[in-house]
């Protein structure tokens, strides 16, 4: 998968990438439309909040990598973990994280 620069919600540039996790599966690197949608949610609904405020859910859309549009309802889970409801009604966790941390998390959990 092609890697692109990514931004954390606090605006700092780190070795962060977008990862998704479907139920009973490990974290995998998200595709470009996942990264764009999460970045939009963070920019519009998370970053403007004062510390301690909980972000509200929002429908976000982005151009889908395979054509058409990616629509998803995003909500906050905890800390820097978010989730969206996909087109099949399934909840998908989504996060901006370092590859090393994701590899560690995937090693310690038995999916």
Query: What digits encode the pLDDT tens for the residues 56-102?
Result: 999 999 999 999 999 999 999 998 999 999 888 999 999 999 999 99
What is the Cβ-side half-sphere exposure of residue 7, based on CA atoms within 13 angstroms? Answer: 13
Report the distance separating Cα 95 and Cα 83, nearest Å: 8
**Among residues of the chain, what percentage have pLDDT more than 70?**
86
The set of residues, in sequence order, having a beta carbon less than 8 Å from that of 44 and lying 6+ positions away, is: 58, 60
| Higher per-residue confidence, 52 vs 59 | 59
**Structure pTM?**
0.82
Q: Domain residues of the chain, as ranges?
A: 17-48+55-98
């Amino acid at each position: 998968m092609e890697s692109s620069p990514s931004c954390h919600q606090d605006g700092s540039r780190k070795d962060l990438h977008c990862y998704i996790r479907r139920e009973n599966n490990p974290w995998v690197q998200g595709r470009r439309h996942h990264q764009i949608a999460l970045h939009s949610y963070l920019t519009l609904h998370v970053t403007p909040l004062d510390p301690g405020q909980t972000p509200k859910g929002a429908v976000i859309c982005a151009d889908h990598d395979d054509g058409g549009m990616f629509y998803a309802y995003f909500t906050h889970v905890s800390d820097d973990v978010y989730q969206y409801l996909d087109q099949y009604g399934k909840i998908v966790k989504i996060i901006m994280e370092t590859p090393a941390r994701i590899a560690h998390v995937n090693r310690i959990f038995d999916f």
